[in-house]
């Protein structure tokens, strides 16, 4: 796999309204977990991570005001490039997500372009597949850059779990962190974007995405089958193979684990099944500790964190494995090098 460059990132999260602020807050372990306007079945306020926007926008308008500034952060880095040559790959929540806002696919892309005052390349598309959507979008971006000669691509994701129907369904399934359930996640929301380009003219400020892999897991979080992490193992092995590495070569990991035991168990099983050498330290970072569960924004958020860690030299090393898991069977992994 020919690498692609990660040149810039944008973020709008519960702990910062741009990438530098968000990454600095996450590095320090800061959170913005507050009582929301939603109650659980016991009558207690549900804790979540709101993005502190200028106005209390709701619905699609709120998503718009989270993702547009993140995309603008990336566009600011390529002001001399005709934007009509740059495709936008927009990642959204799964169609089957409980409480998913209506009309996202029909309205959001057009409103994003109108808000930015630009028209993206006609090959721009949406990927509605939750946490792994960002990895699938990066695969699409790779094709646009190396098969169709796009000078740059933008991968953006925006999502919110702070929707009444979403919270009610996940609490019903004992997936939400409440006073009566410690094995759950804190709902969050975020918008994030990545600027990608070809591997030519790489600078010390860039990261290379050198490996990409996908897998399918039979023992999903809602199934009763024994978990062996087959899907994540498949995705990680494929990503490492494409990057010509082993897991022992990787310095640290970033994962989409969100506080539920299932995801930590999956990550641990995948590590034990793949790693063949002893490592004194093998950190695993998870942004959900600070910004909550952000769904389809997790891939651009995670890669933005890796980019900031590399540029500011606080990463544990030059190679990072990023791994992502959907509630359904989809699994994905990326290898980045600086």
Structure confidence at residue 204 (pLDDT) = 79
Task: Please compute the mean of the pLDDT values over residues 254-268 and round it to a whole number.
Answer: 97
pLDDT in tens, 38-73: 999 999 999 999 999 999 999 999 999 999 999 999
Q: What is the pTM of this model?
A: 0.97
pLDDT in tens, 118-154: 999 999 999 999 999 999 999 999 999 999 999 999 9
Structure confidence at residue 107 (pLDDT) = 87
Q: Where in the chain is the domain with CATH 3.40.47.10?
A: 4-198, 207-337
pLDDT in tens, 268-311: 999 999 999 999 899 999 999 999 999 999 999 999 999 999 99
Structure confidence at residue 200 (pLDDT) = 86
Structure confidence at residue 203 (pLDDT) = 78
Q: What is the rounded average pLDDT for all residues in the chain?
A: 96
Lowest mean pLDDT among 31-40, 100-109, 197-206, 233-242: 197-206
Question: If DSSP states are collapsed to H, E and C, what string results for the chain?
Answer: CCCEEEEEEEEEECCECCHHHHHHHHHCCCCCEEEEEEECCCCCEEEEECCCCCCCCCHHHHHHHHHHHHHHHHHHHHCCCCHHHCCEEEEECCCCCCCCCCCHHHHHHHHHHHHHCCCCCCCCEEEECHHHHHHHHHHHHHHHHHCCCCCCEEEEEEEECCCHHHHHHHHHCCCECECCECCCECEEEEEEEEEEEECCCCCCCCEEEEEEEEEECCCCCCCCCCCCCHHHHHHHHHHHHHCCCCHHHCCEEEECCCCCHHHHHHHHHHHHHHCCCCCCCCCEECCHHHHCECHHHHHHHHHHHHHHHHHCCCCCCCEEEEEEECCCCEEEEEEEEC
Tell me how far apart the alpha carbons of residues 136 and 332 are, in angstroms, rounded to a whole number: 8
- Under the banding of pLDDT at 50, 70 and 90, the label for residue 105 is confident
CATH architecture of the domain 207-337 equals 3-Layer(aba) Sandwich (3.40)
* Inter-residue contact 302 to 254 (CB < 8 Å): yes
- Under the banding of pLDDT at 50, 70 and 90, the label for residue 12 is very high
For domain 4-198, the CATH class is: alpha beta
Share of the chain above pLDDT 70, in %: 100
Structure confidence at residue 1 (pLDDT) = 78
Degrees to nearest 5, angle at CA 335 with 292 and 217: 65
Structure confidence at residue 309 (pLDDT) = 98
């Amino acid at each position: 796999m020919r690498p692609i460059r990660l040149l810039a990132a944008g973020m709008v999260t519960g702990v910062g309204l741009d990438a530098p602020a968000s990454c600095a807050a996450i590095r320090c372990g800061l959170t913005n977990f507050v009582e929301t306007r939603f109650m659980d079945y016991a009558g207690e306020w549900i804790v979540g991570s709101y993005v502190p926007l200028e106005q209390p926008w709701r619905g699609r308008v709120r998503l718009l005001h989270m993702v547009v500034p993140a995309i603008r952060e990336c566009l600011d880095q390529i002001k001399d490039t005709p934007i009509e040559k740059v495709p936008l790959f927009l990642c959204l929540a799964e169609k089957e997500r409980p409480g998913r806002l209506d009309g996202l696919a029909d309205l959001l892309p057009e409103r994003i372009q109108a808000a930015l005052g630009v028209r993206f390349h006609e090959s721009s598309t949406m990927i509605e597949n939750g946490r792994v959507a960002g990895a699938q979008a990066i695969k699409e971006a790779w094709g646009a850059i190396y098969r169709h000669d796009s000078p740059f691509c933008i991968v953006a994701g925006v999502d919110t779990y702070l929707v009444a129907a979403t919270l009610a369904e996940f609490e019903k399934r004992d997936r939400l962190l409440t006073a009566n359930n410690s094995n759950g996640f804190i709902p969050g929301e975020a918008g994030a974007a990545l600027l990608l380009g070809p591997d030519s003219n790489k600078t010390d400020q860039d990261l290379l995405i050198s490996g990409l892999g996908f897998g399918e897991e039979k023992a999903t979080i809602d199934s009763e089958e024994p978990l062996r992490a087959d899907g994540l193992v498949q995705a990680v092995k494929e990503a490492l193979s494409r990057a010509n590495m082993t897991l022992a070569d990787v310095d640290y990991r970033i994962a989409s684990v969100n506080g539920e035991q299932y995801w930590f168990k999956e990550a641990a099983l995948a590590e034990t099944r793949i790693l063949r050498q002893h490592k004194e330290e093998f950190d695993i970072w998870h942004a959900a500790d600070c910004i909550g569960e952000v769904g389809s924004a997790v891939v651009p958020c995670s890669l933005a964190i890796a980019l900031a860690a590399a540029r500011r030299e606080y990463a544990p090393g030059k190679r990072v494995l990023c791994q992502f898991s959907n509630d359904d069977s989809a699994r994905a992994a990326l290898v980045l090098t600086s």
